[in-house]
Amino acid sequence: MCAFRVTLSRRQRQELEHHLHTAQRSGQLHDVTCLLAILAVTGGQSCGEVALTLRVTLKTVHQWVRRLLVAGPRGLQRAKPPGRPSKLTKTQKHELAQLIDAGPVQAGYTSACWRSPMIQQMIYERFGVFYNVFYIAQLLKNLGFSYQKAAFVSDHLNEEKRQVWCTTTWPQIVNAAKAQAALLLFGDEASFPQWGTLSYTWARRGHQPMVKTW
């Protein structure tokens, strides 16, 4: 548990959230972790819980909180670190390309289309490298990918079930309707594209990606 309790004004919290968004987009991993920790602690979580979740030491969380108390939100800003940021190796880039080829669902995402922030997160979780989200597009282009419109294929059609429907289920429905002199009516959702909403995703240049519908 923290030995102190910290609260932020609404303006201060909005300022930190703005800095967090900026750090996430620019690939500033240290600042992202620091700001997430501060927002969590000031939101009511204990320093121990925050340290465990963000995989940093308890001492580090305490230092960040003290910097906030001493100098306010500006005290959390860090000078630009010297040297070049870490990059993916040739082997890691090859593995990344295979992961993108396999699709987001295979990587554990619910979306069927790749987005740059998703790839940014995957690179960090898999390889420990945190790229600027704006650099992701250039990285993928260098690997032979392009951002293109996906084609949809059905994920639920079953030829065997279709045959059962045509030879058994549908004739039974028709016979029952005739026996009762009933009408067979069909309804559909208005303005709902049955083929899915066309979307864009990252895929190999020259090969249109195929996205399964649900």
What are 152-164's pLDDT values in tens digits? 776 666 678 888 8
pLDDT of residue 198: 62
pLDDT of residue 190: 53
Assess whether pLDDT exceeds 90 at residue 93.
yes
* 75 Cβ neighbours under 8 A, 6+ residues apart: 67, 68
Going by pLDDT thresholds of 50, 70 and 90, the confidence category of residue 149 is confident
Asked if 27 and 85 count as a contact pair (C-beta separation under 8 A), the reply is yes
Averaged pLDDT for residues 115-139: 87
Assess whether pLDDT exceeds 70 at residue 188.
no
Where do runs of H (alpha helix) occur along the chain? 10-26, 29-42, 47-54, 58-71, 90-102, 116-127, 133-142, 159-164, 170-179
Burial environment of residue 96 by CB neighbours within 10 A (0 to 12, 13 to 18, 19 or more)? buried
pTM above 0.75, yes or no: no
Q: List the structure tokens of 22.
A: 């900026």
Burial environment of residue 45 by CB neighbours within 10 A (0 to 12, 13 to 18, 19 or more)? middle
Burial environment of residue 90 by CB neighbours within 10 A (0 to 12, 13 to 18, 19 or more)? exposed
pLDDT of residue 79: 59
Averaged pLDDT for residues 168-182: 92
Q: For residues 107 and 85, what is the distance between their CA atoms, to the nearest angstrom?
A: 25
Assess whether pLDDT exceeds 60 at residue 81.
no
Which amino acid belongs to residue 178? K
Going by pLDDT thresholds of 50, 70 and 90, the confidence category of residue 24 is confident
For the chain, what percent of residues have pLDDT higher than 70? 82
Q: Which range is least confidently modeled, 109-123, 132-146, 153-167? A: 153-167
Q: List the structure tokens of 48.
A: 């121990």
Averaged pLDDT for residues 173-188: 86
Nearest Cα to Cα of residue 50 among 65, 60, 59, 40: 40
> In whole numbers, what is the pLDDT of the chain averaged over residues?
81
SS3 label, residue 187: coil
What is the residue-wise DSSP string for 52-91? HHHT--HHHHHHHHHHHHHHGGGGG--PPPSSPPP---HH
* 202 Cβ neighbours under 8 A, 6+ residues apart: 100, 114, 119, 140, 145, 146, 147, 209
